[in-house]
């Protein structure tokens, strides 16, 4: 049984409902890391959120959710591609220890400089095109609240999110009001009726508790919340862990550090060991490999470093 994301529409097609529950994907994300529970909660919720948002992007590419902090946690980052393959990692601020318990504000925003960042990065860009990046101050007590603040600030569609994670599961539910396409056709949905559907759906969804979201499979959860409604269900979409790191990308990252820096590391340690921040895969560059990095070989076409800053 693979991890899945499920999408539904209310019968009048004015509200979208999505739910995701991750087990294997979330375990893979934690496999090479020893996260304290506070990070497990925050990162798992960000992972679940990334799939809910990536499921609606209209291009081939990736959606990156980042929380940059000024506390013990410097960065939480999740990259989810349009095929719902994802990777995630955390950077702890040097010299800091993350307490076992702690909320988003105390771990990421004690100085008030925390930021919530959303990047939309189409794979095939026209020349000169850049990834879209939206940045807002880190507001709210939870990842869901921070994301809702972002959606509101960037004038997105009315959206509400519920997120939860522990070491076993990362889960989320999203409801979103879809744009109203008015018209004189009497069969067209009236704005009034659409508002009523939104209010009703919000009220039903608002009864969802964190523990219930974590413990319940999607079908049971959706039935329990919306059994009085008629939902149109879409084909479930599989979600999986995938890290696209390659030796070539690591080589490019080392080139960007510069020859002097790489030679220093080589002199100190005999070889340069780099492990991927996301999946932990080790990459070793010995003296010969390092020399080859700077001998005028044309750099590989893919300049993306293995980390997302």
Site residues for Zn ion per CB under 5 A: 243, 245, 276, 278-279, 281
C-beta of 137: minimal distance to Zn ion in Å?
A: 30
C-beta of 248: minimal distance to Zn ion in Å?
A: 12
CA distances to 36, 53, 87, 155 from 137, in Å: 25, 19, 24, 15
**Nearest-angstrom CA–CA distance, 30 and 65:** 17
Q: Are 160 and 148 in contact (CB under 8 A)?
A: yes
Q: What is the CA radius of gyration of the chain?
A: 22
C-beta of 283: minimal distance to Zn ion in Å?
A: 9
Nearer to Zn ion, 56 or 275 (CB): 275
Count of beta carbons in the 10 Å neighbourhood of residue 238: 12
Nearer to Zn ion, 107 or 250 (CB): 250
C-beta of 80: minimal distance to Zn ion in Å?
A: 15
C-beta of 274: minimal distance to Zn ion in Å?
A: 10
- Which residue from 87, 93, 76 is spatially nearest to 26, judged by alpha carbons? 87
Nearer to Zn ion, 77 or 225 (CB): 77
Nearer to Zn ion, 247 or 263 (CB): 247
Q: Are 26 and 87 in contact (CB under 8 A)?
A: no
Nearer to Zn ion, 31 or 206 (CB): 31
C-beta of 89: minimal distance to Zn ion in Å?
A: 9
**Nearest-angstrom CA–CA distance, 30 and 32:** 6
Phi-psi region at 102: left, alpha or beta (left = phi > 0; alpha = psi -120 to 50): left
Nearer to Zn ion, 91 or 281 (CB): 281
C-beta of 149: minimal distance to Zn ion in Å?
A: 31
C-beta of 278: minimal distance to Zn ion in Å?
A: 4
Strand partners for 133: 119
Q: Are 268 and 113 in contact (CB under 8 A)?
A: no
**Tokens 């499979």, located at residue:** 217
Nearer to Zn ion, 116 or 278 (CB): 278
Nearer to Zn ion, 174 or 243 (CB): 243
DSSP string of 105-135, one letter each residue: HHHH-TTS--EEEEEEEESSPPTT---EEEE
Q: How many CA atoms lie within 13 A of 298 on its CB side?
A: 3
Q: Where are the alpha helices (DSSP H) in 167-232?
A: 191-205, 210-215, 218-226
């Amino acid at each position: 049984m693979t991890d899945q994301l499920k999408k539904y529409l209310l019968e009048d097609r004015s509200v979208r409902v999505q739910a995701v529950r991750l087990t294997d994907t979330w375990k893979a994300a934690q496999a090479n890391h020893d996260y304290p529970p506070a990070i497990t909660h925050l990162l798992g919720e960000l992972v679940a959120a990334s799939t809910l948002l990536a499921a609606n992007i209209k291009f081939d590419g990736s959606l990156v959710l980042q929380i940059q902090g000024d506390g013990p946690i410097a960065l939480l980052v999740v990259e989810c591609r349009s095929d719902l393959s994802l990777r995630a990692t955390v950077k702890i601020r040097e010299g800091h220890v993350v307490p076992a318990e702690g909320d988003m504000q105390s771990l990421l925003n004690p100085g008030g400089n925390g930021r919530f960042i959303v990047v939309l990065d189409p794979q095939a860009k026209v020349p000169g095109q850049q990834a879209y990046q939206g940045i807002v101050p880190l507001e709210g007590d939870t990842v869901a609240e921070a994301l809702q603040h972002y959606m509101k600030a960037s004038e997105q569609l009315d959206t509400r999110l519920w997120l939860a994670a522990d070491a076993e599961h990362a889960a989320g539910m999203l409801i979103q009001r879809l744009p109203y396409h008015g018209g004189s056709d009497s069969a067209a949905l009236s704005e009034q009726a659409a508002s009523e559907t939104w209010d009703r759906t919000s009220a039903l969804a608002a009864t969802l508790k964190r523990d219930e979201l974590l413990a319940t499979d999607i079908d049971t959860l959706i039935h329990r919340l919306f059994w009085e409604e008629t939902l149109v269900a879409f084909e479930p979409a599989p979600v999986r862990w995938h890290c696209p790191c390659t030796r070539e990308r690591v080589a490019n990252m080392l080139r960007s550090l510069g020859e002097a820096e790489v030679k220093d590391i080589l002199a100190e340690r005999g070889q340069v060991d780099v492990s991927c921040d996301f999946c932990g895969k080790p990459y070793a560059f010995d003296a010969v490999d390092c020399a080859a990095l700077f001998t005028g070989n044309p750099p590989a076409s893919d300049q993306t470093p293995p980390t997302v800053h």
